[in-house]
Chains A and B, each alone.
Chain A
Amino acid sequence: MNIKDMARTCQWETLLEGADANAITSAYTSDLLSDVMANAHDADLLITIQAHNNTVAVASLAGIKAIVVCNDRTVPDDTLASAQKEQIAVYRTQTNQFETSCAVGKLLQS
C-alpha cells in the first residue's frame, strides 16, 4: 500500500509528504532507537513517539521511508528539515502506538 493512501485512510496529519512510489509493506513500532537500529530490519514505516533529529537519523540509517509520530506529539521544525533532507515522510496521529499499529496491521493484511 502506498504511504499517501495509508495516511489518508488512517487520518494522519501530513507534516512532510512522502513520495507516491513509497510502498509500505511492513512496519516497526518502538520508542527505543537502539532497538529500532537493531531490529527494524526491512520495515518501511516507523511507529513511535520519538520526534527529534535522532529519530530521523535512525530511520535513515535503518532504511525506513516514513515515520508516524503518535499521541499528537510536537515535531520540531529542524526535525522536519532533517527528514526532508533524508527524504523521509513524517505524519502525526492522535492515537497511541498500539492503536496506530493495529490500524496499520489491518491495512497491510487486507
Chain B
Amino acid sequence: MNRLPDLSPEKSPLTLVEVIYSTTIREVMSTDPITVERNTPMSTVQHLMRDHGVSGLPIAEEGRLFGIVSVQDLIEALQQGKLNVPVSTCMTERVVTLEEDMPLSMAISTFSKYRFGRFPVLNAAQRLTGIISVRDINVTLVNRLLQQVSKFESMLDNEVTPGLELNRVFHTRQHDFENGGKASTTIKKHLVDHHVDRSLVKRIAIASYELEMNQVVHSIGGTISYRITPDAVEILVQDRGPGIENVDLALTEGFTTANEWIKSLGFGAGLGLPNAKRVSDEFFIHSEPNVGTTVKVVIHLDKKQKENAT
C-alpha cells in the first residue's frame, strides 16, 4: 500500500505546509454525517451503508458520540447471524476523535498513526459535528494546491502590474543570503516606478529589508506579503519558527541572538526590529516560541503622495 509522504514542515514544500497548517478540519470534514442510535439494529446499519456508500457510521444521540461501526463490524455480525441485534453490541466504543479547530496536519498525522478509514469530528462542546475521511482530505488538498498553483502562475504572468496597487507574496529560506533582499528590492522598484515619494520609499524599503533579513537570519523560513493600495503599504511577514522568547527584548536596540558568522556578514547588530518599528506608522508583532513570528507593518501614503502616484 502506498504510504502518505512525510509532511513534516522541514521536509515539505512551504506551500503544502501552509495549506495543511492553515486549513482547519472544519473546512475539510463532511458535515451532517449520517448517524444511528444505540438501539438501531445491524440490518438498518447494513442498508444505510449500502444506500449511502459509506464504510463507517457514528453512533450518536443528540450530538453525543457513543461509538462507531465499520464495514468490518458489519461483516462479523453477518457471519454470526446477528443482524437483529442493536448496533451498540457491535460498535467500537473507544473511538479516536478529532476536533473541528485542529489543523488539517493533525488529521493527516492521525490517519498515518491509525489504520481507520474515518474519524468522527467533535466541536468544542464535544458534540459530533462531522466525519472526516481520507477522501475528504484528498479532495481538499488537491483543490487547495490547484488554487496555489493558479496563484503562482498568475504571479508569474503579472510580474509587471499596470497600477500602483499590488498584492504579492515572497518566500524566504533560512540562511539564504543569496536571495535575501530580493523581495524588498522588487517592491522598492515598483514604488519608484509609480512615483511614490522618495522619503516614503526609503522608509518602506528599510522596514521591508529589515524584516526580510530577520527571516533569513533568524527563522527557518517564511513569507513576506505586500499589499499596496493608494492609501498605504502593508507588509505582513510570517515565519514558521522558532519564535522569539522575549519580544520586548528583541525590540531593544542592540539586543541580538545572532552568531559570529551572521555578524561577519554585517547583520545581527540588534538593529533590525527597532529600525523597522521606527520607520513604520503601524507596527504589530506577535511571536510564540516553537510556533513562529508574525509582524505587520503599515506605512501610510499621505494625501500629497496619492496625488503624485500614478
Contact = CB atoms under 8 A, between A and B. Distances in A.
A8 B198 CA distance: 31
A61 B180 CA distance: 12
B177 A32 contact: no
Which of A31, A57, A62, A86 has most B Cβ within 10 Å? A57
Contacts of B180: 53-54, 57
Contacts of A32: 266, 269, 271
A61 B185 contact: yes
A50 interface: yes
Interface in B248-275: 265-267, 269, 271-272, 275
Interface residues of A, number: 21
Nearest to B207: A37
Interface residues of B, number: 23
Contacts of A20: none
Given A54-B180, A57-B209, A34 B269 contact: yes
Given A34-B210, A38-B206, A53-B178, A61 B269 contact: no
A86 B278 CA distance: 26
B188 A61 contact: yes
Interface in A40-96: 48, 50, 52-55, 57-58, 60-63, 78, 86
B206 A54 contact: no
28 contacts: A31-B266, A32-B266, A32-B269, A32-B271, A34-B210, A34-B266, A37-B209, A37-B275, A38-B278, A48-B266, A50-B265, A52-B177, A52-B265, A53-B180, A53-B181, A54-B177, A54-B213, A54-B267, A55-B266, A57-B180, A57-B209, A58-B181, A58-B209, A60-B185, A60-B188, A61-B185, A61-B205, A78-B178
